[in-house]
Structure 1
Amino acid sequence: MTYHFLLPSTDIQCQKDKVMVQTTYWPNRDPEMADYGDGVIAYVCYMMLLVFALGLLSAHLISRHFSSPILTLTKQVEQYSNQNRPLVNTNRSDKVGELHRAFFAAFSRIQAFLEREKQFTRFSSHELRTPVHVIGGSVQLLELSDSDERRLNILKRISDANKDMEQLINTFLFIGREQQNTQPKVSLAETLRNCITQHEYLLSGRSVDVECYVHSDEKSEVYFSKVVLANMLRNAFGYAQSQVAISLTGQRLVIVNDIAPDTESGFGHGKEIISAICHSANWRFYAAIGDSKATTVLYF
Structure 2
Amino acid sequence: MIKKETIIINEIRHGYIMCEQDKKAPVILYLHGGPGSPEYPIFQSQLNSSYLCEFNVCYYDHRGCGLSFNKKSELSLDLLIEDILDITKYLIEKYDKKKIILVAHSFGTYLGIKAVQSHPEYYSAYVGISQITNVRESEKRIYNDLLQVCKEKKDYKGRKLLKKNKRSSSKLSNHYMQNVKGRLLKRYQLGLTREPLPTYFMIQKLFSFPQYSFKNKLEYCKGLIHSSRLLFSMTKDINLFQNSCDFKVPIYFIHGIYDYQVSLPLGKEYFGQLDSPKKELIIFEESAHFPNFEEPDKFNEILNSLFSVEQV
Tell me the TM-score normalised to structure 1 length.
Answer: 0.20
Tell me the TM-score normalised to structure 2 length.
Answer: 0.20
Q: Which has the higher helix share?
A: 1
Greater RCO, CA 8 A, separation 6+: 2
